[in-house]
């Protein structure tokens, strides 16, 4: 279903946008419930479910045992038998504990039933560094799940996207992994009060430009917009694209941009080697090779665990300066 996006009307934080999406969806559909570690009494460690227990009660906002495998199993069974669960995996790093359920059960069930089974399961998790939470609580592992047929993967870049993509994910009859960013939770932006969907699988041109394309993932969208402003001082007109959905990926919008600008860069917070940026770069060269005036660049984290030390972590995570520097390097190679 194609949905027209609502026009923003007020300022709301990223975390409040997620919480509002949960509440409005649960009011709309009694088959929706939320389950996870500390989502009820604690309102989640990040505050995304604050106030939901009071409104909806313990039958629809459920504190689970500390068992990621059990949480995904609960969501899988509930979705397969007619409910529409949202399950919360507190940190994306913990996805490794429940990979079998996600990769071999959740992702495969519809296929193994010949497409006849519905599995409206939303898996919500938090990713990214920046809070000195160290190597086991700061990773960006989205590429793992983009590789698995049967899963949809979204990474909101701000509050407006966080609400609209969550609504679309929960209403979808297929498994969707929603990956929110911990540091971005404080971000403020215009967010409509009413329920609205952002169509899954469609990218957004955040900043139109004419002579360079940056495809930015999640938290790297605001960083790339800052980089574009920095580069504007050099006379460079940069286009910034937010894919919003990583699987399915909107290749057409990216290719259309590259055919216009002739140069491209992909920026993500995840480790550069084997990251989703490599797949996007490959698709660009397959679909727009004759239009490229330079190799597709990539910006990502170094091949190392995320440091605990704040100065080291700041150095580890890509930012606007690093994105701008890579754009200049690519352009310098053409001189």
Say if residue 44 is in the same domain as residue 88. yes
199-225 pLDDT, tens digit each: 999 999 999 999 999 999 999 999 999
Q: Which pLDDT value is given to residue 335?
A: 35
Within this chain, do residues 250 and 186 fall inside the same structural domain, yes or no? no
Average pLDDT over residues 123-130: 97
- Domain co-membership, 51 together with 113: yes
Q: How confident is the model at residue 3 (pLDDT cuts 50, 70, 90)?
A: low
Same domain, yes or no, for 258 and 147?
A: no
Q: Which of 161, 190, 219 is the last residue of a domain?
A: 190
Residue-number span of the structural domain to which 37 is assigned = 11-190
The verdict on whether 137 is a catalytic residue reads: yes
The CATH number that applies at residue 107 is 3.40.50.970
* Domains contained in the chain, number: 2
- Identified catalytic residue from 137, 204, 223, 268: 137
Query: Same domain for 169 and 45?
Result: yes
Name the active-site residue from 68, 142, 269, 326.
68
Please give the helix or strand (H or E) that residue 116 lies within, else none. none
To the query of whether residue 262 is one of the catalytic residues in this protein, the response is no
Residue 86: closest CA among 64, 55, 104: 64
190-209 in b/e burial notation, b at 16+ Cβ within 10 A? ebbeebbbbbbebbbebbeb
Does residue 166 sit in the same domain as residue 311? no
Straight-line distance from the first to the last Cα atom of the chain, in angstroms, rounded to the nearest whole number:
47
Give the residue ranges of DSSP H helices in the chain. 14-28, 52-56, 68-80, 99, 109-112, 142-146, 159-171, 220-232, 251-261, 276-288, 310-316, 320-332
- Residue 334 has a pLDDT of 45
Distances (CA, A) of 215 to 27, 137, 253: 36, 26, 10
Is the residue at 320 inside a domain? yes
State the pTM of this model: 0.95
């Amino acid at each position: 279903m194609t949905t027209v996006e609502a026009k923003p009307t007020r300022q709301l934080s990223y975390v409040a946008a997620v919480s509002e999406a949960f509440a409005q969806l649960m009011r709309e559909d009694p088959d929706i419930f939320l389950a996870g570690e500390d989502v009820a009494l604690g309102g989640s460690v990040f505050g995304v479910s604050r106030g939901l227990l009071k409104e909806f009660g313990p039958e629809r906002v459920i504190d689970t045992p500390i068992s990621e495998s059990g949480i995904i199993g609960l969501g899988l069974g509930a979705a397969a038998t007619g409910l529409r669960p949202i399950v919360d995996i507190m940190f994306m790093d913990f996805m490794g504990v429940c990979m079998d359920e996600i990769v071999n059960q959740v992702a495969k069930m519809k296929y193994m039933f010949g497409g006849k089974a519905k599995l409206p399961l939303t898996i919500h998790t938090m990713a990214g560094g920046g809070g000195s939470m160290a190597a086991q609580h700061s990773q960006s592992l989205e590429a793992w799940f983009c590789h698995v047929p049967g899963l949809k993967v979204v990474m909101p870049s701000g509050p407006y996207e966080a609400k609209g993509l969550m609504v679309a994910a929960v209403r979808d009859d297929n498994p969707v992994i929603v990956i929110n960013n911990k540091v971005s939770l404080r971000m403020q932006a215009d967010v409509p009060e009413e329920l609205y969907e952002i169509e899954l699988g469609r990218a957004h041109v955040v900043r139109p430009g004419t002579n360079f394309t940056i495809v930015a993932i999640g938290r790297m969208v605001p960083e790339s917009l800052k980089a574009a402003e920095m580069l504007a001082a050099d006379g460079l007109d940069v286009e910034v694209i937010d894919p919003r959905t990583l699987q399915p990926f909107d290749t057409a919008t990216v290719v259309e941009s590259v055919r216009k600008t002739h140069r491209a860069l992909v920026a993500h917070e995840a480790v550069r080697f084997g990251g989703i940026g490599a797949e996007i770069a490959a698709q660009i060269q397959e679909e727009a090779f004759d239009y490229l005036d330079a190799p597709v660049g990539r910006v990502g984290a170094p091949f190392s665990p995320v440091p605990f030390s704040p100065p080291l972590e700041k150095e580890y995570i890509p930012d606007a300066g690093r994105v701008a520097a890579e754009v200049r390097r690519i352009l310098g190679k053409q001189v």
